[in-house]
Chains A and B, each alone.
Chain A
């Protein structure tokens, strides 16, 4: 019966997290636009394969589909989907629909009718793309998220060099996250150590300083970094004034800016788990090591560090996983080659409305995160899981 107490939370998670998430991710493999708009066309294409000549009954079915789908406002979605694979047909499909609608009653439609609007609309490549998008499932978006495409015969090959994007972005996302994790560890460890060694009153005050940025909006902190790092900003003015540099440094709209801002934003997530572990290490252990003859450095490395390892692992994992999902900070202080995966998820969701690709990229990130998490779990023999 006690277990029933978690039911409200379980139901909440199910309704507001698991179901929507699964629904969104399923967009990565579902094809709905083309089968909804062009059912007769797809039926007429039954049994047809790409290099063969197109079957003549196709044209009448295609025209009827276009007219009806346009009236039902479903054609634009299908046109967008097909335009991903056959560049340029988005507006010509709409135009073909208008012209088919305006054609005199009883007009017979043929390839020439559509060729007159746009030769692409009468091409085998176009109908092969429509066939691949006939659903209910397809691998188009998943392949696209891995920089892969299908050629005319349906074979998988790498996208043209100038369109290979996402694997690079994934590597970049991992490398930025790893660098930020390392930087927060290097800066956070001494702070966490200091917190355990000062008077409780002082520790309280220092803790407020750690938490203060934690309570400030992410956007505000990032915008503040823009002011600090810009060409005539505080850092450059200071360095110029003391004569360390003669030309202002470029600290913004590049990788430096991203690393500085993200490290600052994520620092509390490293310090807090570290602090909670370091505080639990009894000072007697270090004294015991010293009394047994270990020099301070040896005692630190052989006694303190192993005891601190769970905190390091928990903090690092927390920072790393949070960093993977960053997009506002790189968008504001980074350049074109510093954007991370979630930037593209956001762009495809809100700007262009390519939800299939957004879902596929989200899935790519989720899988990568789970794989890394699993690897960390195995390597640390379960300690990471217990701590975070």
Chain B
């Protein structure tokens, strides 16, 4: 009896090993955020790179450091190049989930805008969390976050991302804190209380979104009169579905996603080749046509079609109204604030 069990066990383990060995030989796998955005990346980066001779497959994911940690520490990583958010870049780099990046092998540091190159990653896109509304439905146009947080001036439901990040910032701005001081105020317990108090003032009118595809859909369905949203999604809804959604850029947070190479990948050389290819200004300049996000090669901006500039986060006119998200603040305070957010969002 006992021996049979052991034999079965060993056979199963051997099969599992054989299966994982078969997986080790795989094509370069690049992982991004899916949707219209990844469709654009396919046209601009993935297909031409494939055509140039290196086989590449693309997958999509929804983010989350836990996912990457499982892949690396579980020892069955199937991804090579992944697009991550700012805090995932920072923490994952500290945890040793990514390869260290050699700038010389991806086109040299001078090619990229200052601040877009990190020890473990290189900037992919720059985007804003904007205030969006349907220009055809809303009679009073909101001028900024103060109006978003004013249920008397503009009645109706409004939606925000379900999470503390960015919502506490805009609540403070609505409460009169200058965008430049937001993180200073938020670093104090009184500042956090102030942000939650401001959120309380419109709580009965709040609806939460989880994925970036939801806000334009909620606007289109009439479920909300205003929402926070990623700027590219709003432009895409206007262009694809012929909507008349408007965006307010004043005092909106902007942030950058980066490409990283997963630790220990057998495709490291090809991964670097892909990053070099995606870092070329002439390639990056084509992306905003598909999705209106800013790119990171210094020489790309002049090559971008001028007609797209009005809704491009890297447009200097927009950049000077916006403020940079502070990933360090969220790395340190995210856990505690997430608890408080959950409690707050879960009580009527």
Contacts and interface: CB of A to CB of B under 8 A. Distances in A.
Interface of A: 4, 7-8, 10-12, 14-15, 73, 75-77, 79-80, 83-84, 87-92, 94, 162-165, 168-169, 172, 230-233, 248, 250, 252-253, 331-332, 335-337, 339, 344, 348-355
B91 A76 contact: yes
Interface stretch (B2-10, B32-40, B308-316): B2-10
Given A90-B332, A253-B223, 9 more contacts: A80-B91, A87-B336, A169-B346, A232-B221, A250-B157, A336-B345, A349-B66, A350-B62, A352-B335
A231 B334 CA distance: 33
B63 interface: yes
State the main secondary structure of chain B at its contact with A: helix
B326 to A, nearest CB: 11
Given A230-B222, A253-B223, A339-B346, A352 B338 contact: yes
Interface string B308-348: 00000000000000000000100111111011101111111
A314 to B, nearest CB: 33
B64 interface: yes
Given A76-B91, A253-B208, A350-B64, A88 B332 contact: yes
6 contacts: A90-B332, A92-B332, A162-B340, A233-B221, A352-B65, A354-B335
Contacts of B345: 335-337
A92 B5 CA distance: 51
B69 interface: yes
A131 B169 CA distance: 35
A335 B208 contact: yes
Interface of B: 1, 4-5, 8-9, 12-13, 62-67, 69, 91, 94-96, 157, 162, 206-208, 210, 221-223, 328, 331-336, 338-340, 342-348
Given A162-B343, A164-B343, A352-B66, A88 B95 contact: no
Given A83-B335, A84-B335, A230-B222, A353 B344 contact: no
B65 A4 contact: no
Contacts of B339: 163, 165
A34 B223 CA distance: 47
A230 B218 CA distance: 8
Given A76-B91, A335-B207, A88 B333 contact: yes
Residue picked from A4, A84, A94, most chain B C-beta under 10 Å: A94
Nearest to A70: B94
B8 A8 contact: yes
Contacts of A80: 91
A73 B331 contact: no
Contact of B344 (A8, A162, A168, A351): A162
A91 B87 CA distance: 11
Contacts of B328: 91
Contacts of B69: 353
A4 B347 contact: no
A337 B346 CA distance: 4
A258 to B, nearest CB: 13
Contacts of B4: 4, 7
B346 A336 contact: yes
B223 A87 contact: no
Nearest to A16: B12
A73 B96 contact: yes
A337 B157 CA distance: 16
A165 B342 contact: yes
Nearest to B345: A336
Nearest to A79: B94
A231 B222 contact: yes
A102 B340 CA distance: 37
A4 B12 CA distance: 17
A267 B248 CA distance: 45
Contacts of B9: 11, 14-15
Nearest to A87: B336
Contacts of A231: 221-223
A77 B162 CA distance: 26
B95 A73 contact: yes
Contacts of A91: 328, 331-332
Contacts of A336: 162, 206, 208, 344-346
A232 B335 CA distance: 37
Contacts of B344: 162, 336
A8 B331 CA distance: 46
